[in-house]
Amino acid sequence: SQQGEEDPQALSIQEGENATMNCSYKTSINNLQWYRQNSGRGLVHLILIRSNEREKHSGRLRVTLDTSKKSSSLLITASRAADTASYFCATAAGTASKLTFGTGTRLQVTL
């Protein structure tokens, strides 16, 4: 079963706008990670936030984590056409740091 669900399923914005994606999960976690997947390619790691952290930044990315609500959000600021991709959250727990993925958000950034 999927650990989490992402909202929205699809998002279409214009270049320069901000994009916000949300992720909810069900069980306790060690950390939560966000990955990007371009069409026809594998997943690429974007950012990781540990369970004892509330907010993290990396370039144009900002991630928040609320463990009391079991939710996370990914904000991409000043989006570019190259940001067009699917974005997945993944929670890590237990041995071997196995990841459980959400269902993904498809982001379309138009010129």
Partner 1 sequence: NAGVTQTPKFRVLKTGQSMTLLCAQDMNHEYMYWYRQDPGMGLRLIHYSVGEGTTAKGEVPDGYNVSRLKKQNFLLGLESAAPSQTSVYFCASRERTGDGQPQHFGDGTRLSIL
CB nearer partner 1, residue 96 or residue 111: 96
Closest distance to partner 1 from the beta carbon of 93 (Å): 9
CA 37 to chain centre: 11
- Binding positions for partner 1, rule: CB under 8 A: 1-2, 4, 30-31, 33, 35, 40-45, 48, 50, 88, 90, 92, 95-104
DSSP state of 25: -
Strand partners, 87: 36, 105
Shortest CB 26 distance to partner 1, Å: 13
**Minimum Å distance from CB 54 to partner 1?**
16
Closer to partner 1 by Cβ: residue 9 or 110: 9
Strands 105-110, 10-14: pairing kind: parallel
Contacts (Cβ under 8 Å, ≥6 apart) of 84? 38, 107, 108, 109
Smallest distance, Å, CB 84 to partner 1? 18
Cα–Cα dist 88/65, whole Å: 15
- Using the minimum distance from each CB to partner 1, give the nearer residue, 15 or 106: 106
Tokens linked to 88: 């997945």
